[in-house]
Each structure stands twice: as C-alpha cells, then as structure tokens.
C-alpha cells in the first residue's frame, strides 16, 4: 500500500489522518476490505479492526477519484 501511495504522491500521514478523521463516515465494502471511505478525491479501502486489534486499521488499497 505504501508503494501505491508513493506512486500517487499521497503521504502516509494523509492516509492516516483521513482514516482517523473519517472513520465515522465509513461505509461497508463488499470486496476485499471491510470498509471504504472517501476524503476529498482520495478513496481508502481498509479493515478495522485489524484482526483483534481495535486500535489498528489495515489499509488494503487506495486510489484517487477523477
């Protein structure tokens, strides 16, 4: 995921901030990740909790909307 973020020019801190700030606005995802959220043009698919760790979210993939 960090490689893809680098290719897209997205800082890790921006991804972390989006997940923390927008977690309440997430929606269920029916694909490989449990949740999906949008922050501006950024879309993040992630799992939370990561296994049994409720303090951790695992980002599966991300992309920019057009």
The pLDDT value recorded for residue 1 is 78
Token reading at 42:
């950024």
For 30-51, what is each residue's pLDDT tens digit?
999 999 999 999 999 999 999 9
Domains held by the chain: number: 1
The pLDDT of residue 54 is above 90: yes
Q: Which domain does 13 fall in, by range?
A: 2-64
Neighbours of 62 (CB within 10 A): 22
Q: DSSP readout, 9-58?
A: T--HHHHHHHHHHHGGG-EE-SSSSSEEEEETTEEEEEESSBTTBTT--E
Rg over CA atoms, the chain: 11
Q: What is the mean pLDDT of residues 7-11?
A: 94
């Amino acid at each position: 995921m960090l490689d893809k973020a680098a290719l897209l020019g997205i800082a890790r801190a921006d991804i972390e901030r989006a997940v923390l700030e927008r977690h309440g606005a997430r929606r269920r995802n029916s694909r490989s990740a449990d949740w999906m959220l949008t922050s501006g043009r950024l879309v993040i698919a992630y799992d939370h909790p990561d296994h049994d760790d409720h303090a951790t979210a695992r980002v599966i993939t991300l992309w920019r909307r057009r």
